[in-house]
Amino acid sequence: MESAATDAELDSLVQDAIVWASQHGLVVGLGGTAPPAALIHAPLSLLPVAFPASRFQQAKAAMTTFNTLIDRVAADEGYLFDTLELAGQQDDFTGRLLQLLQDSKPARAAAAAAAGAKEVVLGVHRSDYMLDAPSGGFLQVELNTIASSFACLSSITSQLHHYTLQRLAAASSSSSSSDAAAAALQLLSASRLPSNAALQGICRALAAAVVAAGGPGAVMVMVVQPGERNAYDQQWLQHTLWTEHGIVTRRLTLAQIPDCLQLQPDAAGAGSRLVFADSGTPVGLVYFRLVHHVVADSGTPVGLVYFRAGYTPNDYPTDKEWQARALIEASTAAKCPTVAYQLAGSKKVQQDLAAPGVVERFMGQQQGADLRQLFAGLWSLDNITEPTTAAVIQDAIQNPDRFVLKPQREGGGNNLYGPELSAALQQGLAAGGDSLAAFILMQRIVPPPQRSVFVRGGAWGEDESLSELGIYGTFLRVGDEVVINEEVGHLVRTKTSSSNEGGVAAGFAVLDSPLLSEPGEGLLPPQLDGSSGSTAAAAAAASWGESGGVLAAARALLQQQQQQQQQQQQ
């Protein structure tokens, strides 16, 4: 059994990877009772995961179109109000965001009407996908328009895998290679890792927005959750904004903002600028997961408010947090996102865009068709007596494993699957009316499992895995001019196939990166590898973990190395 013999070699690669991560800032807070400054390597996958090259390129290429779509949807406030009205009644969070959009209209109109005034709108989005075995490509899971995280740690993970594949190649290159080892070396070539400069790309957009809206000397306010554990991902943005663009970041919680920031009428009459409060008294700024009292730069203009919090109702325990949103929305500072952008990224809008003709109305037939290839089936439950909806509901009750029931509100964590999904739909039908309007029904994506080495807290284990791909996009509009519309990088998160939910920060998933492959090379799962849907293919899928995929190729290389050494000694 080769796996036992190569476990020792894998272990040494893991230890190398842990040290590399610790040296290069691929870290998270240790948490628990440790000192707040204590760290540990981020949860990682030792090796990259195989993705079909053409499908990866398709997802990347679509990102600038998604950026444009969000901007057009957000600009169509009538559409937002119509689409979200019912959801807003069902869900208090969506309702308050809609109210904020309504209430800020006069301030936004005044700013727009002033001479020379130009609205600055920044989008930093991440479109998330999973591979779907039945369709053979990526299907969109969700499109995040607020607080898209892990761009920085993901960029460093791509570098780590570059390093790991080079170590692996070097470990085997000293042997005179067999054909099998040569093939494995070629499959695991570091040149198959797409470059990933998400950190640099996002900072470029943040910096441009700060300057466009705030002018020289303006700072970025990063809105953070109190006690953020993933602060190192955020700190990399701050660090790069400073070293590459000379821009200072201030971290504030929503609750601190009404005391720390204030509106100041612009000298030219073009709306109200957002500046640090002029009290001169110390205000609390959040550094490094701790709250410290420092003297703020009173009067300093805020060019951009960048939200890494505020996407879940839990971030608004009191009215003060809503006051913060209102203050920001009424200012001429760039917001990433605006309330309109946040609503444009809601699951309800995502579902509506998937309905026949809707995305086409915003993007035209050609681009609409391009995006639609990446949409999973999505059904509104606003009108459960409408014949199509009623049929889908019955289908889902009968075949719950082909569907996901998602709550309309943001923040995740409460998706329903299987028997729970059936039960919730049946209860909804029994209650009647709009009792299911707070949910949307979604085609369940069926990703083909692969095998991964999970490295967490200094320990590792091998398991069957599922991976999710995120593509980052940046979009900056100043007035009518689109200054930036870019796809800037990617994120891969991998979790064990036995877990339905969970992210990196919650400890379920690990950071990963893609290794691009063509069908027929043996790296991709058989469901994606050009095999037919026969029972032979099913058998191939069952045994594939032993002989195919990235981990199997790595083991083949290490095994080959051992055999060479043993032969040399005989």
Which is nearer to a copy of itself, 289 or 325 (by Cβ)? 289
Rounded least distance, CB 231 to a copy of itself, Å = 8
Contact partners, residue 298, CB within 8 Å, separation at least 6: 276, 277, 278, 279, 280
Which is nearer to a copy of itself, 162 or 402 (by Cβ)? 162
Query: Catalytic residue at 410?
Result: yes
Strand partners, 27: 41
Interface stretch with a copy of itself, choices 18-26, 97-105, 141-149, 546-554 (CB under 8 A)? 18-26
Interactions with a copy of itself, residue window 112-141 (CB under 8 A): none
Binding mask 161-180 for a copy of itself (x = CB under 8 A): --x---x--x---x------
Q: Which two tokens stand for residue 327?
A: 């203050």
Q: Which two tokens stand for residue 159?
A: 């570098």
Active-site pick, 9, 228, 410, 487:
410
Which is nearer to a copy of itself, 188 or 528 (by Cβ)? 188
**Which of 298, 359, 315 has its CA nearest to residue 226?**
315
Q: Which two tokens stand for residue 193?
A: 């890792």
Which of 116, 246, 357, 387: binder of a copy of itself (CB under 8 A)? 246
Strand partners, 130: 139, 468
Rounded least distance, CB 298 to a copy of itself, Å = 6
**Which of 361, 352, 342 has its CA nearest to residue 125?**
342
By CB under 8 A, residue 78 contacts a copy of itself: no
Active-site pick, 55, 347, 451, 555:
347
Binding mask 358-397 for a copy of itself (x = CB under 8 A): ----------------------------------------
Tell me if 421 sits within 8 A of 441, measured CB to CB. Answer: no
Which is nearer to a copy of itself, 296 or 378 (by Cβ)? 296
Interface stretch with a copy of itself, choices 9-17, 478-486, 503-511, 521-529 (CB under 8 A)? 9-17
By CB under 8 A, residue 217 contacts a copy of itself: yes
Rounded least distance, CB 148 to a copy of itself, Å = 20
Element (H, E) at 461: strand 459-478
Alpha-carbon gap, residue 547 to 541, rounded angstroms: 10
Query: Catalytic residue at 411?
Result: yes
Q: Which two tokens stand for residue 74?
A: 């957000």
Alpha-carbon gap, residue 511 to 45, rounded angstroms: 6
Rounded least distance, CB 328 to a copy of itself, Å = 23
* Cβ-based burial of 19 (10 A; exposed 0-12, middle 13-18, buried ≥19): exposed
Which of 99, 135, 177, 298: binder of a copy of itself (CB under 8 A)? 298
Contact partners, residue 154, CB within 8 Å, separation at least 6: 196, 198, 470, 489, 490, 491, 492, 511, 513
Interactions with a copy of itself, residue window 531-570 (CB under 8 A): 562, 565-566, 568-569
Which is nearer to a copy of itself, 163 or 508 (by Cβ)? 163
Alpha-carbon gap, residue 467 to 502, rounded angstroms: 12
Alpha-carbon gap, residue 389 to 307, rounded angstroms: 36
Alpha-carbon gap, residue 7 to 558, rounded angstroms: 9
Q: What residues line the site for a copy of itself (CB under 8 A)?
A: 5, 8-9, 11-12, 15-16, 18-20, 22-25, 27, 30, 34-41, 163, 167, 170, 174, 217, 232, 235-236, 238-239, 242-243, 246, 248, 278, 280, 282, 285, 287-288, 290, 292-295, 297-299, 457-458, 562, 565-566, 568-569
Catalytic residue numbers read 126, 142, 144, 149, 347, 406, 410-411, 493
